[in-house]
Amino acid sequence: MKTVEVKLRDEFIKLGQALKAAGIAQSGVDAKFMIQDGQVTVNKETELRRGRKLFDQDEVVCKDVLIRIVK
């Protein structure tokens, strides 16, 4: 599994933005459909909200890519 780190600029990043920042989604629409289709987990739980706030140390898995949120 490939690992990508997304650095926080603020206190949090929204899930859809993190998918775009990691290069998994080309657009917000792509991210929305991946999330709605149940392809995304946050901290090992399926997440269906595109606006889910991610904080330091959260882990997202989508399409065999692990995204680590770091400060």
pTM higher than 0.85: yes
- The pLDDT tens digits of the residues spanning 9-67 come to 999 999 999 999 999 999 999 999 999 999 999 999 999 999 999 999 999 999 999 99
Q: Which residue type does 34 have?
A: M
How does DSSP assign the chain, residue by residue? -EEEEEE-SSS-EEHHHHHHHTTS-SSHHHHHHHHHTT-EEETTEE---TT-EE-TT-EEEETTEEEEEE-
- Which residue segments constitute the domains of the chain, with CATH numbers given? 2-70 (3.10.290.10)
- The values of phi and psi at residue 43, to 5°, are 50, 45
